[in-house]
Amino acid sequence: MQKFIQHTGIAVPLDRANVDTDLIIPKQFLKSIKRSGFGVNLFDSLRYLDEGYIGQDCSKRKLNTEFVLNQPRYQGASILLARQNFGCGSSREHAPWALLDYGFRAVIAPSFADIFYNNSFKNGFLPIVLDSAEVDALFEFVHNNEGAQLNIDLQEQTVAAERAGLSYRFDIDDFRKSCLLNGLDEIGLSLQSADAIRRFEEKQRAASPWLYR
Amino acid sequence: MAKTLYDKLWDSHVVEQREDGTALIYIDRHLIHEVTSPQAFEGLRLAGRKPWRLDANLSMPDHNVSTDTAERAQGMDGIVDPTSRLQVKTLDDNVRAFNIPGYAMDDPRQGIVHVVGPEQGATLPGMTVVCGDSHTSTHGAFAALAHGIGTSEVEHALATQCLVQKKMKNMLVRVEGELGPGVTAKDLVLAVIGEIGTAGGTGCAIEFAGSSITSLSMEGRMTVCNMAIEAGARSGLIAVDEKTIEYFKGRPMAPGEEHWQQAVTAWRELVSDDGAHFDRVVEIDGSAIKPQVSWGNSPEMVLPVDALVPDPALEQDETRREAIERALEYMGLTAGQAITDIQLDRVFIGSCTNSRIEDIRAAANVVRGNKVAPTVKQAMVVAGSGLVKAQAEQEGLDQVFTAAGFEWREPGCSMCLAMNADKLGEGEHCASTSNRNFEGRQGFGGRTHLVSPEMAAAAAIHGHFVNVQDVIQER
Ligand code: SF4
């Protein structure tokens, strides 16, 4: 897994609540059996004017110039600024894969859907929860300052907009934080508990034998 | 100390509690389908790992399979789209290579994972159940702790039979009162989502309780828990009662005679203790619920069938006003228009929410002796599993539908998310018994209205929404 320690980049504001995973990466792209290559189809139905299909050359498609990601000032953005309940809907991990593949490293929102939030951490992609007023202030800052960057420091758990003198602290649980900081593989960590897993199984098998066949 | 059902399920599966509040949780059942597993098997291969415990897994393709009978008869070759075919084939190859038990596409037991799991007794009370699919919440209807996971967790569950989890909060949704005629589990859960919102259960396991819930059949309870995720909760739960126990008698993977009594004794404990603490409680009057229809692009955008489409001008909150405006535009609806004036192009009866035998019987009862309206281009019924389909055919229900002009199809996810060929055209309105009305969910530019099977059947016949309660009364 890719480490996440510090990141500085342009933030793009996606001013819409309840952005669901079908919107992040529509289902026709879920047919891929790979983990990569989803970036060109991120927000496909919002970014392009036609219906996309898998394996297509997207450089020839008509862009929806009104969609924020297509605006010149946000090219190269690597931080997504979003509204409440971001990532609701399906459990597809293709959502964080697509965000990462596009070039995003983090998303900031007042709240996230649980499964999306969870999936993000497994991929070195950082979802940050700030309170609504703080998110509002960042939206305003990004809107008013073309090309301005945000700075995320995971060690310190802060998001800062230096030019405006804004700095906000965010919460994250210690286990996730250390996995991200060190780029640790969670499966390897869990397998260190192999003996405990076996002991659990022995006890369970004795108490509930019908669960094993 | 008094415990909730969720507390009990959690406590009995902790392998290791860690200081930071996370725990290693044991997984009793892992359901696998073709969409979210290929990258997980690939990950296992790359790391040189093997599945921890084969018999805890059960796999089947469902999202990409063709529901067309002629195509289905041709097996893998019948899947026209090469990317869909590759995904189904990849699952076949992976389960063979790793020796994972399951049902291939041509197995009579194949179907949507969330329909087949309980049907086979692969889901049992007291289990932890996971699947790379958010509607895994369905299995909570049996007092199993069930939730959707992403592909990294699919790989984690395969490799370790565990997941690293943090305990969720306890939320209770109590629905009391007798449901009116024609009011179903689907209407109940849509009304709950309309009330608490799509983020209402975020961070929580929702236990559904109260007389409206206990009066539901197991099928109905599955419909309710299925949509817990649409209320933001990864898990829905319903306590064990006699109906739960009765359901598992004779199921192939349920405990046999040698363990039955022992299992039943353990299952009876799977209820929240008196006085157990819930972090949040919501009370809803079940007797006041009317048949529901969703009008927008979020499951919380739902109203009783006799209501009018909302007017954004009356909404004070700016974000919400914009959301209403955007939804009306996408859905091609006008503020203040009657829901019953919405004309339908297609009707879909199916999905893991409403494709069990009871749903099909209920829809057939409304359809019997009628014809699909000429303005409806297509009306289809897609059973949730091969066994549901066979049962319905034995009862002659397929004849009821085909005589009325419905298509009677092979089991799979079908138009619930349109990964196979079953899709809406741009701008088409669909009365659908599925669970998500997101933009483009059933096809690019498609317009989904979530309803119960009875409501979908009545809409097919009339060509627009009608209150199924009136239809029932006429009889
Ligand atoms: S029927 Fe629909 S919601 Fe259910 S598993 Fe299939 S695609 Fe998902």
For B334-373, b/e burial (b = at least 16 CB within 10 A) is eeeeebbebebbbbbbbbbbbbbbbbbbbbbbbbeebebb
- Nearest residue of B to residue A112, measured between CA atoms: B202
B418 lines ligand 1 (CB under 6 A): no
Kindly give, in sequence order, each residue whose CB lies less than 8 Å from that of residue B249, ignoring residues fewer than 6 positions away. Answer: none
Answer left, alpha or beta for residue B366, where phi above 0 means left and psi between -120 and 50 means alpha.
alpha
For A131-186, write each residue's pLDDT tens digit. Answer: 999 999 999 999 999 998 999 999 999 999 998 999 999 999 998 999 999 988 88
Give B-chain residues touching A190 at CB under 8 angstroms: 24, 156, 159-160, 162, 164
B382 lines ligand 1 (CB under 6 A): no
Predicted TM-score (pTM) of the model is: 0.92
Cβ contact A23–B234 (<8 Å): no
Report chain A (213 residues): mean pLDDT per 10 consecutive residues.
Answer: 93 96 94 90 96 91 96 97 95 94 97 95 95 97 94 98 94 92 90 97 97 91
- Nearest residue of A to residue B133, measured between CA atoms: A91
| pLDDT greater than 70 at residue B475 | no
Distance from CA of A20 to the nearest CA of B (A): 8
Lateral strand order in the sheet of A166-169: A126-129, A106-109, A79-81, A6-13, A149-153, A158-161, A166-169
Q: Is B382 helix (H, G, I), strand (E, B) or coil?
A: strand
The DSSP secondary-structure symbol of B272 reads P
Pick from A33, A96, A113: which is nearest to B90 by CB?
A33
Cβ contact B234–A85 (<8 Å): no
The CA B244 to ligand 1 mean position distance, Å, reads 23
A172 and chain B: CB distance < 8 Å anywhere? no
Q: Is A143 helix (H, G, I), strand (E, B) or coil?
A: helix
* Mean of the per-residue pLDDT values of chain B: 96
Cβ contact A90–B151 (<8 Å): no
- What is the per-residue pLDDT for A213? 82
Contact B151, B163 (CB under 8 A): no
Distance from CA of B37 to the nearest CA of A (A): 8
- What is the per-residue pLDDT for A2? 82
DSSP secondary structure letters along B325-342:
HHHHHHHT--TT-BGGG-
Distance from CA of B213 to the nearest CA of A (A): 24
Cβ contact B441–A22 (<8 Å): yes
| pLDDT greater than 90 at residue B456 | yes
A31, A56, A204: best mutation site toward chain B, by most B Cβ within 10 Å?
A31
- What is the per-residue pLDDT for A126? 97
Contact A182, B24 (CB under 8 A): no
Q: How far apart (Å, rounded) are the C-alpha atoms in residues B454 and B284?
A: 22
B435 lines ligand 1 (CB under 6 A): yes
A62 and chain B: CB distance < 8 Å anywhere? no
Among B292, B310, B338, B318, which residue's Cα sits nearest to residue B455?
Answer: B292
Kindly give, in sequence order, each residue whose CB lies less than 8 Å from that of residue B313, ignoring residues fewer than 6 positions away. Answer: B321, B335
Helices (H), B34-172: 38-47, 69-73, 82-98, 113-120, 151-160
Contact B243, B217 (CB under 8 A): yes
Pick from B20, B160, B199: which is nearest to A197 by CB?
B160
- What is the per-residue pLDDT for B302? 98
Residue owning tokens 């995904």: B87
- What is the per-residue pLDDT for A66? 95
Contact A1, A105 (CB under 8 A): no
B450 lines ligand 1 (CB under 6 A): no
User: What's the sign of the alpha-carbon dihedral B154, B156, B157, B158?
Assistant: positive
Pocket test for ligand 1, best of B348, B413, B422 (most atoms within 8 A of CB): B413
B413 lines ligand 1 (CB under 6 A): yes
Give the position, in ligand 1's atom list, of the atom nearest the Cα of B417. 7
Cβ contact B39–A173 (<8 Å): no
Phi, psi of A20 (to 5 degrees): -95, 165
For B393-438, write each residue's pLDDT tens digit. Answer: 999 999 999 999 999 999 999 999 988 888 999 999 999 999 999 9
The CA B351 to ligand 1 mean position distance, Å, reads 6
A193 and chain B: CB distance < 8 Å anywhere? yes
| pLDDT greater than 90 at residue B109 | yes
The CA A136 to ligand 1 mean position distance, Å, reads 35
- What is the per-residue pLDDT for B46? 83
For B115-173, write each residue's pLDDT tens digit. Answer: 999 999 999 999 999 999 999 999 999 999 999 999 999 999 999 999 999 999 999 99
Average pLDDT over residues B39-43: 94
List Cα–Cα distances, B34 to B104, B132, B154, B164, B247, in angstroms: 11, 9, 12, 23, 28
% residues pLDDT > 90 (chain B): 95
Give A-chain residues touching B254 at CB under 8 angstroms: 210
Give A-chain residues touching B64 at CB under 8 angstroms: 31
Distance from CA of B238 to the nearest CA of A (A): 20
Q: How far apart (Å, rounded) are the C-alpha atoms in residues B450 and B434?
A: 6
Contact A42, A24 (CB under 8 A): yes
List Cα–Cα distances, A145 to A14, A66, A71, A138, B183, in angstroms: 16, 19, 14, 10, 53
Strands B57-59 and B22-26, sheet pairing? unpaired
For B258-276, write each residue's pLDDT tens digit. Answer: 999 999 999 999 999 999 9
Kindly give, in sequence order, each residue whose CB lies less than 8 Å from that of residue B470, ignoring residues fewer than 6 positions away. Answer: none
